[in-house]
């Protein structure tokens, strides 16, 4: 009988110790969770790399849900994560700067230009493949006009007669970016000669010959033409050109 009581006592003590250890573990776990939730609550957000969306729009898109404002959760969830549900964005990364501060890096899709089709803006990449369709325009991406096509299919090349035109578009957009020039529109005529639109100024650059020199000179000329409307003729421009004709529109 005494032996049986000893066994029961040991079991009771073991159960009591087990319950105490479990309770202590749960208490520590609760304390750790409380510390993480309160200490790593995001109050300051920096956003980089976004052009199509504002900082506030990006933050609202990813900081959602019960743990949407927890920096550890965001850092774990967005580690160069590819995005399929946010138009114009290919990936997002969240970096913890301090427990309550994060930096959101936005990697937007690279576009060479866009064409208008059935009331929508169809954005294409360097190869001419349609990669985005939207009712909104994105800053820094020019409209391309003058191209002939009868249909547009997502994730397929724009069906134009001369596919070499996309390499020409890429050269132009890269040079524009290099010199900090923001053209509103690129127009190709039947001979694939190009006219760039900068508000009221139309710049005829012809083909892609001496394009780097043309844009280098254009950067210094455009400020002088601010507020004017007309045609700047740069088709025959060379590094030796001293005068570049500008024909102002007649009202």
pLDDT at 12 > cutoff 60: no
Tens of pLDDT, residue by residue over 35-92, are 555 667 888 999 998 888 889 999 998 888 888 888 888 888 887 677 777 888 888 8
> What was the pLDDT predicted at 15?
62
- The residues near 120 (Cβ < 8 Å, ≥ 6 apart) are 133, 134, 135
Cross-strand partners of 102: 45, 96
Residues 127, 144: Cα–Cα separation, whole Å: 14
The answer on 101 and 52 residing in a single domain is yes
Q: Tokens 């724009």: give the residue.
A: 158
> What was the pLDDT predicted at 166?
87
pLDDT at 149 > cutoff 70: yes
The answer on 180 and 149 residing in a single domain is yes
Task: Indicate whether this model's pTM tops 0.75.
Answer: no
Tens of pLDDT, residue by residue over 106-118, are 988 888 889 999 8
pLDDT at 5 > cutoff 80: no
What's the whole-number average pLDDT of the chain? 82
| Percent share of the chain, pLDDT over 70 | 83
Buried b / exposed e over 220-247, threshold 16 CB at 10 Å, is eebeebeeeeeebbbeebeeeeeeeebe
As for how many domains the chain has, the answer is 3
Residues 36, 24: Cα–Cα separation, whole Å: 18
Angle at CA of residue 165, ends 171 and 248, nearest 5° = 70
> What was the pLDDT predicted at 122?
92
> What was the pLDDT predicted at 46?
93
Range of 60's domain? Answer: 44-108
The answer on 103 and 122 residing in a single domain is no
The answer on 91 and 22 residing in a single domain is no
Tens of pLDDT, residue by residue over 177-196, are 888 888 889 999 888 889 99
| Structure token pair of residue 125 | 């990449």
188 φ, ψ (degrees, to nearest 5): -110, 130
> What was the pLDDT predicted at 187?
92
Place 144 in a pLDDT band, splitting at 50, 70 and 90: very high
Average of per-residue pLDDT across 115-142: 87
226 φ, ψ (degrees, to nearest 5): -55, 130
CB 211 within 8 A of CB 173: no
The answer on 93 and 22 residing in a single domain is no
β-strand 113-117 against 120-124: which pairing, if any?
Answer: antiparallel
> What was the pLDDT predicted at 2?
52
The answer on 70 and 53 residing in a single domain is yes
The answer on 214 and 90 residing in a single domain is no
Classify residue 41 by its DSSP letter.
B
The answer on 213 and 96 residing in a single domain is no
The answer on 190 and 83 residing in a single domain is no
The answer on 225 and 125 residing in a single domain is yes
| Structure token pair of residue 249 | 């529109």
Tens of pLDDT, residue by residue over 216-249, are 888 988 888 888 889 988 888 777 777 888 888 8
Domain boundary among 55, 84, 108: 108
The answer on 209 and 119 residing in a single domain is yes
- The residues near 93 (Cβ < 8 Å, ≥ 6 apart) are 78, 79, 80, 81, 104, 105, 107
> What was the pLDDT predicted at 105?
92
Q: Which of 235, 223, 230 is nearest to 246 (CA)?
A: 230
The answer on 120 and 67 residing in a single domain is no
Identify the sign of the CA torsion 220, 222, 223, 225: positive
């Amino acid at each position: 009988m005494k032996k049986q009581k000893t066994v029961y006592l040991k079991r009771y003590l073991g159960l009591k110790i087990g319950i105490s250890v479990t309770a202590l573990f749960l208490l520590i776990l609760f304390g750790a969770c409380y510390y993480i939730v309160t200490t790593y609550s995001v109050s300051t957000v920096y956003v980089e790399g976004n052009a199509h969306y504002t900082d506030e729009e990006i933050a609202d898109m990813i900081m959602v849900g019960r743990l949407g404002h927890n920096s550890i959760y965001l850092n774990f969830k967005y580690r160069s994560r590819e995005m399929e549900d946010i138009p114009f964005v290919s990936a997002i990364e969240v970096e913890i700067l301090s427990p309550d501060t994060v930096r959101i890096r936005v990697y937007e899709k690279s576009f060479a230009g866009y064409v208008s089709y059935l009331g929508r803006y169809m954005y294409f990449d360097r190869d001419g493949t349609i990669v985005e369709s939207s009712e909104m325009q994105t800053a820094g991406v020019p409209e391309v006009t003058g191209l002939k096509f009868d249909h547009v299919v997502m994730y397929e090349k724009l069906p134009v007669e001369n596919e070499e035109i996309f390499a020409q578009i890429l050269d132009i957009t890269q040079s524009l970016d290099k010199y900090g020039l923001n053209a509103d529109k690129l127009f190709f005529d039947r001979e694939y000669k190009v006219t760039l639109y900068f508000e009221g100024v139309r710049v005829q650059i012809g083909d892609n010959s001496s394009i780097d020199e043309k844009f280098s000179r254009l950067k210094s000329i455009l400020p002088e033409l601010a507020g004017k409307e007309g045609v700047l003729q740069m088709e025959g421009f060379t590094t030796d050109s001293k005068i570049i004709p500008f024909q102002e529109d007649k009202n």
